[in-house]
Amino acid sequence: MSEPLVIIGNGMAAARFADELSKRALGRYAIAVVGDEPRLAYNRVLLSSVLAGEVASSAIELKPRDWWADRGITLRYGCRATAIDASARIITLADGQSLPFSKLVLATGSQPIKPAIPGMALPGVITFRDINDIWTLWHRAGTDDRVVVIGGGLLGLEAAYGLAKASARVTVLHLMDRLMERQLDPYAAAMLKRAVEAMGIEVILNADTAEIEGANRVEGVRLKDGRTIQTDAVVVAIGIRPSAELARTGGIAVNRGIVVDDTMQTDVAGIHAIGECAEHRGLVYGLVEPAYEQARVLADCLAGRTARYEGSVLATNLKVSGVNVFSAGDFLGSEGTEEIVLTDPGFGSYKKFVVSDGRLVGAVLFGDTADGLWYLELIRSGASIAAFRDDLAFGRALVERVHTKPAPTRLAA
Ligand SMILES: Cc1cc2nc3c(=O)[nH]c(=O)nc-3n(C[C@H](O)[C@H](O)[C@H](O)COP(=O)(O)OP(=O)(O)OC[C@H]3O[C@@H](n4cnc5c(N)ncnc54)[C@H](O)[C@@H]3O)c2cc1C
């Protein structure tokens, strides 16, 4: 008989895990997915493109309904898991039903962080996390509406771009002195600011929000320096927090996220966590690639193979049309690292590479990002770049042309 395996969360990590596990051990487990969003799992990464009108909301489903049914997976979406009894091995659902499990996989993702400032509960304050948020944004922030986006990181800028494309008048407020400071060095961040402003989006740096003002709905945002920006809506995009409460109340070890070992197991045998809710070696990732790597490792382990997750090298791509930004690894560098920089202000291009012990450890690209994945592979592999260091900044095509030995030609007899 198949072992009952329950996955809580019907997001990107859950869908990838179900896929990887069914490729390795179809039939070994009776899989049930419990998800509180009332729809099939979808590609959350594409929400920015949906907001910008570049992708239809109907086109972002990860797998069609039949795909799940064909693999014998039971889907319970629109249904929240409210409690885990780790010793009785039972999940309780919001509708009062319960589900027994032998193995449990927590893939509950994250929630947007809301700052503890007055006015956050006013109608017109919106987050940017799921498809409902997109519908609310479309409803609240159309042509000529004024929108303030709090947060000048990746999500905030993608929201600002989507709203500006919908002809809203957008102001981005960012607490720090440069945009995307966690992914970009000051030079690239300054280029990004100019590019964003050229789209008609106002950017205010060093902007510390004191209060969201309004009687019955949002009317303005007051900064701590006394300035007030009049607005019809506020999008809050200042960061995310792992959804780990369910695990915590179930007695599973939680730090910032649900603590897992290299096999993605929590401190309770047979209970696992993957994706944005998981904390591995002290790190919680907010990107999809680590979630997919974790899903692969866990599928291997639950199929009886040996596998370990050892952490991920992060890479970021901004999805703002016409503004190509890529960063990966240790892009700031530290003592003992060297930098290779190539700028072409005329073409709006900037490339910075951080090298340590003859290996590439980080990169920032602005403008021409076509070789981003190649640089990422060099960082991930830790391969020596000594043979082509001087040509590294000129890209993959040149390096491969100049530094790959031609195959020996056979001499005619
Ligand atoms: C607008 C946007 C743009 C993004 N762009 C990028 C990008 O360009 N590149 C990138 O790498 N990443 C990007 N991300 C992040 C990426 O989407 C996440 O890293 C990824 O979705 C994580 O997958 P997950 O399964 O861990 O979480 P999620 O996809 O969030 O799935 C978790 C699911 O669990 C559900 N859930 C939570 N608690 C319960 C419960 N108790 N019971 C039932 N269900 C529950 C949630 O409702 C949710 O549906 C973006 C995110 C957003 C919001």
pTM of the model: 0.93
Is residue 127 in contact with ligand 1, taking CB distance under 6 Å? no
Select from 37, 39, 44, 104 the residue to mutate for testing ligand 1; criterion: most ligand atoms less than 8 Å from CB: 44
Nearest partner of 170 among 133, 199, 139, judged by Cα: 199
Helix, strand, or coil (residue 300): helix
Residue of higher predicted confidence among 232 and 142: 232
If you average pLDDT over every residue of the chain, what do you get? 94
Summarize the confidence of residues 68-85 as an average pLDDT: 96
Residue of higher predicted confidence among 411 and 12: 12
Is 50 exceeded by the pLDDT of residue 413?
A: no
**For ligand 1, atom 2: residue with the closest CA:** 45
Show contacts of 264-269: CB within 8 Å, 24+ apart.
Answer: 264/294, 264/297, 264/298, 264/301, 264/309, 265/301, 266/106, 268/86
For position 209, what pLDDT does the model report?
A: 97
Model confidence over 302-335: pLDDT tens digits? 999 999 999 998 898 888 888 999 999 999 988 8
For position 395, what pLDDT does the model report?
A: 92
Q: What angle do CA 332, 338, 342 make, to 5 degrees?
A: 80
For position 388, what pLDDT does the model report?
A: 94
The C-alpha atoms of residue 181 and residue 278 are separated, in whole angstroms, by: 24
Is residue 241 in contact with ligand 1, taking CB distance under 6 Å? no
The C-alpha atoms of residue 321 and residue 48 are separated, in whole angstroms, by: 11
Ligand 1 centroid–CA 380 distance in Å is 24
Ligand 1 centroid–CA 279 distance in Å is 15
The C-alpha atoms of residue 178 and residue 142 are separated, in whole angstroms, by: 28
Ligand 1 centroid–CA 42 distance in Å is 9
* DSSP track, 204-268: ESS--EEEEE-SSS--EEEETTS-EEE-SEEEE-S-EEE--HHHHHTT--BSSSEEE-TTSB-SS
Helix, strand, or coil (residue 411): coil
Ligand 1 centroid–CA 41 distance in Å is 10
Ligand 1 centroid–CA 109 distance in Å is 5
Model confidence over 194-216: pLDDT tens digits? 999 999 999 999 999 999 999 99
Q: What is the CA radius of gyration of the chain?
A: 24
For position 334, what pLDDT does the model report?
A: 87
Is residue 11 in contact with ligand 1, taking CB distance under 6 Å? yes
Residue of higher predicted confidence among 411 and 33: 33
The C-alpha atoms of residue 33 and residue 82 are separated, in whole angstroms, by: 14
Model confidence over 116-156: pLDDT tens digits? 999 999 999 999 999 999 999 888 777 778 999 999 999 99
Q: Are residues 166 and 143 in contact, defined by beta-carbon separation less than 8 angstroms?
A: yes
**For ligand 1, atom 37: residue with the closest CA:** 108
Ligand 1 centroid–CA 217 distance in Å is 28
Helix, strand, or coil (residue 366): strand
* DSSP track, 92-128: EETTS-EEE-SEEEE---EEE---S-TTTTSTTEEE-
Ramachandran region of residue 261, left (φ > 0), alpha (ψ -120 to 50) or beta? Answer: beta
* DSSP track, 384-399: B-GGGGGGGGG-HHHH
